[in-house]
Structure 1
Amino acid sequence: MTVQQTAPTTAPASPAHGPVRRVEDAFAALHGADAALLVPGAVAATTGTLLALTNPGGHLIASDQICDPLHGVLTRELTGLGRTVTFVDCTDADAVITAVRPETQVVYTPSLSDPLMRPAPLNEIAIHAQMNDLLLVVDNTALSPAELRPLETGAVVIIEDTAPWLDGWGEVGAALVTGLDRYLPRIAEQCARLGGEVHGWAAHLLERSLATLQLRLSAQRDGAERVAAALRAHPAVRAVHRPSFDEAPWALETHEGFGGLLSFEVVPEIRDLSGILAAGNGDGDGTPLAGSARLPAHTSHAHLSERIRREAGITRQLVRLEVGITGSEALATRLKRALDTALEQSNGADT
């Protein structure tokens, strides 16, 4: 099912030499595209994109790894506007293919699921999307163009939240959209209807951060690998969720690496994870030099029932970790000490 073509429209353009236009151009260049849109928030960017690329009566296939508030938008607002949504595991290309209907128009997936850090086989999904006249939309937030450029895999639109990578200092709350030129005007029009705009000063800060993206992500990628290796060797850790090229050899053709995110599951004997969280949150100064840890079961996925979380593999023992630009060795040391202490306390409580 193709998207109904409407008369060409042109969204209000950013000032030719203003900070918004400059950051849009910089982001587009990072992805090898000609243009991009700066939108006030990832939910607005995604909602506007999916509305623009579908018609009433159309069907979307979306990743079941999406969490609120976006999950709620897809299940309520989009369905209220005549779209239907099927949630599947988009890290499994066969599951995506099976979900295709005659009225399907869009496949929407993150390039890396969060918090379980499973890469989506975008090349394979894109082949089947093209064969079925579908549009592949990729949320590339977890990797950024420093690690993956999904347009080169066959995606037609890319969405990225400015956190955690594009905005290296956590000063801007916005999102960027890029892709094939023919889709951007109607996406811009839909996003404009949702309201809001990004202030020029925020765009300036974001432009400054984009200039160092490749350098920052290279350091964070290497740091995440070191931390993951340390965690895998610890007896208090049941599993570390961090993709590798050995696990996903097909990614050698498309990925530079897998970013600065990882997650790990602590053994069930440890019930108090407060010390582990404190160790993962670095010195707490809020800069990219510090690590950042959280419990998805209590934050991003707290809206789900215990049963659904467990079925998805998101237990109360799962810790999601962002690795900072520097200090990965110190972060690994803090985590090992916290895990040692937590394990000793749990063993003491059992005796």
Structure 2
Amino acid sequence: MHSTAPAATAEPAFASPARRVEDAFAALHGADSALLVPGVVAATTATLLALTNPGGHLIASDQTCDPLRGVLTRELAGLGRTVTFVDPTDADAVLTAVRPETQVVYTQSLSDPLMRPAPLNEIAIHAQMNDLLLVVDNTALSPAELRPLETGAVIVIEDTVPFLDGWGDVGAALVTGLDRYLPRIAEQCARLGGAVPDWSAHLLERSLATLPLRLTAQRDGAERVAGMLRAHRAVRAVHRPSFDAAPWALETHRGFGGLLSFEVAPDIHDLTGILAACTGDHSPLGSTARLPARTSHAHLSERVRREQGITRRLVRLSVGVTDADALSGRLRRALDTALAQRTGGDERC
């Protein structure tokens, strides 16, 4: 695990690749230092353990999915912590869940795959009034769209996928925040073990340099794709936040990134063509899609998935840097074909 000392203590020319990427990520968030960790689950686990004590209580987003949800409900419980899951889009629900032993509030800035933004300013006020620490997973937005430390968060965690590493070469996570908490987190990370190889850190450093440019293209592309989907009769719902729906975000957000999800009509049973249209030519900077019911939320029962709004026809789409208009055209044709071919029967994905 790498030192959390400020960048000024080392000559940049001689800093390790990991140290350089930590400094670059910290700068993007307006912080002094950061940690590069081999995996977002390890980063989150280490952070929550470092900021709580045995007997402590955490409030976590009910949109947290496995494997992290399993860590929160089993591993942390075995270490004496308890967790209450709440809807973080309702700041009053967060406040209601506070107990005398509560120490941390953990939430995503934007839930994935239903793309619900959390009112971090309001949650941070509740946290500060109750002497709680706000930890934010900002993966779905990145510092190009939101800097949670400016809203009152004390720690920010981000997976390198889908935005920090635009080419998909690196599987890691970054943690930044107030300096007084990072040494504790670094100690916990060291206990969990592992390190990010220098070459991976080098690739990530290069990718961070283009983050604002890539996110601008992905945000604009996601808006165009969402507009097409909303107008298509094969699509029942589109999950993509906007400033009209969340005017409070005008104070904190630049935009809502390159993610969206959509649910096709219930009488469309074959999603093969729709998924193929989302991925196109599989270029490194292209779009990708998945079915949450078959991937991130496959561990849940059908009943629980439906209660959470994760149906078998929900498609989660990460819009790439490349031409969003071409993606819209492919998707429109695939949806037209799916409508023409609907015959009922078994679903195929």
- Normalized against structure 1, the TM-score is what? 0.94
Where do 1:268-279 residues align within 5 Å?
268-279=266-277
Find the counterpart in structure 2 of residue 74 from structure 1: 72
- Shift of residue 326 of structure 1? 1.5
Give the structure 1 partner of residue 196 of structure 2.
198
SS of equivalent to 1:33? coil
Structure-1 separation of matches of 2:39 and 2:132: 25
- Per-residue deviation at 1:12? 5.3
Matched residue type, 1:324: G
What is the CA–CA distance in structure 2 between the aligned matches of 1:101 and 1:267, rounded to whole Å?
Answer: 42
CA distance in 2, matches of 1:94, 1:186: 30
Task: Write out aligned runs for 1:153-164 (5 A).
Answer: 153-164=151-162
> 1:323 aligned to 2:344?
no
Q: Work out which of the residue numbers 96, 103, 106 in structure 2 matches 1:105.
A: 103
Give the alignment partner of residue 300 of structure 1, picking from 296, 306, 314.
296
Who is 1:245 aligned against? 243
Note the C-alpha offset of 1:92.
1.1
1:225 maps to which residue? 223
CA distance in structure 1 between the partners assigned to 2:71 and 2:343 by the alignment? 44
- 2:325 aligned partner, one-letter code: E
Aligned residue among 259, 262, 268 for 1:261: 259
State how 1:80-95 maps to structure 2 within 5 Å: 80-95=78-93
Distance 1:317 1:98 in 2: 34
Partner of 2:39: 41
Distance 1:261 1:149 in 2: 17
Where structure 1 has 5 or more consecutive residues not aligned to the other structure, the ranges are 1-10
Q: Distance in 2 between matches of 1:31 and 1:60?
A: 24
Q: Superposed, which structure 2 residues align to 1:118-197 within 5 Å? A: 118-197=116-195
Residue by residue over 1:245-292, the C-alpha shift from the partner in whole angstroms, topping out at 9 and shown as x without a partner, is 00000000000000000000100000111110010112124x11x210
TM-superposed CA distance for 1:241, in Å, is: 0.3
Report % sequence identity.
Answer: 82
| Separation (CA, whole Å) in 1 of partners of 2:168 and 2:343 | 39
AA paired with 1:13? S
CA deviation after TM superposition for structure 1 residue 21, in Å: 0.7
Aligned match for 1:336, one of 322, 328, 332: 332
The DSSP-based 3-state class of the residue aligned with 1:100 is coil
Question: Could you list the runs of 4 or more consecutive aligned residues of structure 1 that deviate by over 2 angstroms after TM superposition?
Answer: 11-16
Residue 281 in structure 1 maps to residue 279 in structure 2: yes
State the SS of the aligned residue for 1:181.
coil
TM-score by length of 2: 0.95
Which amino acid in 2 is paired with 1:328? A
The Cα offsets for residues 15-50 of structure 1, whole Å up to 9 and x where unpaired, read as: 941111110000000000000000010000000000
1:319 maps to a residue whose letter is V
| Deviations, residues 196-227 of structure 1 (Å, cap 9, x unaligned) | 00111111100000000000000000000000
Q: Distance in 2 between matches of 1:242 and 1:92?
A: 18
Is 1:312 the counterpart of 2:312 in the alignment?
no
d(CA) in 2 for partners of 1:109, 1:81: 21
Give structure 2 stretches of 5+ with no counterpart: none
> SS of 1:176's equivalent?
strand
